[in-house]
């Protein structure tokens, strides 16, 4: 499992949100930034995470450059300006990223933007081995970690076990550094729970397992291999929805949890009690962070409505279960309920009448 390892993580809040695009290497940045570097100060709890003076300097320079990174958050108006410094053949290079938004809404986020630019300029090996941190410039730090999709991308593209996340807080020029690993929870670390301890009765559990396993037999696996899975969700209204992963030529993968939640939402059945994920019988399913993000957002509706978080269950199909919540599986996450709680309240109120139909 690509995102499973034994490295201990350190607690600490980051800032960030997902960022957006636009990467440029600014030839003049290094000189200008160096002049300003002294204006940044590491927060006390960040000092131990970045003992290397040279690395500190690079983070400060990246923050100075990120301040001027271009972006286009035309929908949310949430600015994400990111940068990193890589050292290649004895030379340091600043690479920028910024978020852009379009249409329904969709977005290219800051962290994927900056990493993609490193790859475009210096190749994938540089992204894998030379990116030691991603720095975000913002007014205030503490907003949360990367979205699930950006976590998947960072796990796939970088030396994520050692990757640092630095947030430069413009309001007081403190820099808050955390480890990307703070945002990672391997499926192996989800608690093993006996069937009798899962907060579902035997019939509900059996229905969910069968439904998820049935979903796993379908989906679209033109390019997907061993990561294919199916998921089934039980709503508070007693209905079950299910979906399987589906890929396509554009590599716009559709995730099983996202799929079942979309079906439930289509029926205006927004509050889910439990979600079961199953892979091939005898194997534990992988739970992508993007799919965790969908579940986290749905679970935030529960919290808003005063209900318990969604119970997230993984099964190996042989009577064994790992049970957690999306809140625990996606630490430092963010949702609409966190940013715009009024919008969630208004939305659910406008749609509640139909949820029992
Ligand atoms: Zn993101």
Could you report the per-residue pLDDT of 101-152, keeping only the tens digit for each?
A: 999 999 999 999 999 999 999 999 999 999 999 999 998 898 789 999 999 9
Residue 196 CA to ligand 1 centre (angstroms): 37
- CA separation, residue 154 to residues 36, 113, 125, 160 (Å): 29, 11, 13, 6
Residue 158 token pair: 């970088």
List CB contacts of 159: < 8 A, sequence separation 6 or more. Answer: 128, 129, 131
52: pLDDT confidence band, cut at 50, 70 and 90?
very high
Residue 149 CA to ligand 1 centre (angstroms): 6
Please list the residues that pair with 174 across neighbouring strands. Answer: 41, 169
- Structural domains of the chain in order of their starting residue, each with its CATH number: 29-183 (3.40.140.10), 187-354 (3.40.140.10)
The pLDDT tens digits of the residues spanning 328-350 come to 999 999 999 888 888 998 999 89
Instruction: Please answer whether residues 245 and 266 qualify as being in contact, where contact means their C-beta atoms are separated by less than 8 angstroms.
Output: no
pTM: 0.89
The pLDDT tens digits of the residues spanning 168-218 come to 999 999 999 999 999 999 999 999 999 999 999 999 999 999 999 999 999
Express as a percent the part of the chain with pLDDT over 70: 88
Residue 273 CA to ligand 1 centre (angstroms): 26
Residue 17 CA to ligand 1 centre (angstroms): 7
Residue 226 CA to ligand 1 centre (angstroms): 25
| 3 state DSSP class of 130 | coil
Residue 1 CA to ligand 1 centre (angstroms): 21
Residue 145 CA to ligand 1 centre (angstroms): 9
Residue 197 CA to ligand 1 centre (angstroms): 35
- Residue (of 162, 295, 290, 190) closest to 241 by Cα position: 295
pLDDT at 142: 81
H/E element holding 65? helix 53-66
The pLDDT tens digits of the residues spanning 238-265 come to 999 999 999 999 999 999 999 999 999 9
Residue 234 CA to ligand 1 centre (angstroms): 28
Residue 317 CA to ligand 1 centre (angstroms): 32
List CB contacts of 313: < 8 A, sequence separation 6 or more. Answer: 198, 208, 274, 275, 276, 277, 321, 322, 323
pLDDT at 337: 86
Express as a percent the part of the chain with pLDDT over 90: 80
Mean pLDDT rounded to a whole number for the chain: 89
Instruction: Please answer whether residues 194 and 41 qualify as being in contact, where contact means their C-beta atoms are separated by less than 8 angstroms.
Output: no
| 3 state DSSP class of 243 | strand
Residue 148 CA to ligand 1 centre (angstroms): 6
Residue 290 CA to ligand 1 centre (angstroms): 9
pLDDT at 3: 52
H/E element holding 127? helix 124-129
């Amino acid at each position: 499992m690509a995102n499973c390892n034994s490295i201990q993580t350190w607690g600490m809040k980051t800032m960030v949100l997902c960022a957006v695009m636009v990467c440029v290497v600014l030839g003049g940045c290094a000189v200008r930034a160096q002049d300003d570097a002294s204006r940044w100060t590491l927060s006390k709890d960040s000092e131990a995470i970045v003992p290397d003076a040279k690395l500190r300097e690079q983070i400060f320079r990246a923050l100075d450059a990120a301040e001027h990174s271009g972006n286009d958050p035309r929908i949310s108006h949430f600015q994400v300006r990111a940068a990193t410094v890589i050292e290649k053949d004895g030379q340091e290079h600043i690479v920028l990223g910024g978020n852009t938004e379009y249409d329904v809404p969709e977005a290219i986020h800051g962290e994927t933007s900056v990493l993609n630019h490193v790859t475009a300029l210096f190749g994938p090996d540089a992204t894998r081995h030379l990116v030691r941190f991603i720095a975000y410039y913002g007014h205030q730090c503490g907003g949360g970690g990367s979205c699930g999709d950006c976590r998947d991308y960072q796990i796939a593209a970088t030396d994520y076990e050692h990757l640092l996340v630095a947030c430069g807080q413009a309001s007081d020029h403190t820099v808050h550094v955390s480890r990307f690993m703070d945002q990672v929870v391997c499926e192996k670390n989800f608690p093993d729970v006996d069937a009798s301890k899962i907060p579902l009765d035997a019939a509900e559990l059996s229905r969910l397992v069968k439904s998820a396993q049935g979903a796993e037999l379908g989906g679209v696996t033109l390019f997907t291999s061993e990561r294919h899975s199916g998921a089934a969700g039980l709503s508070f209204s007693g209905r079950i929805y299910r979906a399987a992963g589906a890929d396509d030529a554009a590599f716009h993968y559709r995730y099983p949890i996202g799929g079942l939640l979309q079906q439930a939402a289509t029926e205006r059945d927004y509050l889910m009690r439990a979600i079961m994920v199953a892979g091939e019988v005898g194997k534990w399913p992988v739970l992508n962070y993007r799919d965790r993000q969908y579940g986290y957002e749905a679970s935030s509706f529960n919290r808003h409505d005063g209900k318990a978080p969604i119970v997230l269950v993984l099964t190996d199909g042989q009577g064994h279960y790992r049970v957690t919540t999306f809140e625990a599986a996606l630490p430092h996450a963010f949702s609409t309920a966190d940013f715009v709680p009024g919008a969630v309240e208004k939305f659910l109120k406008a749609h509640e009448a139909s949820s029992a139909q």
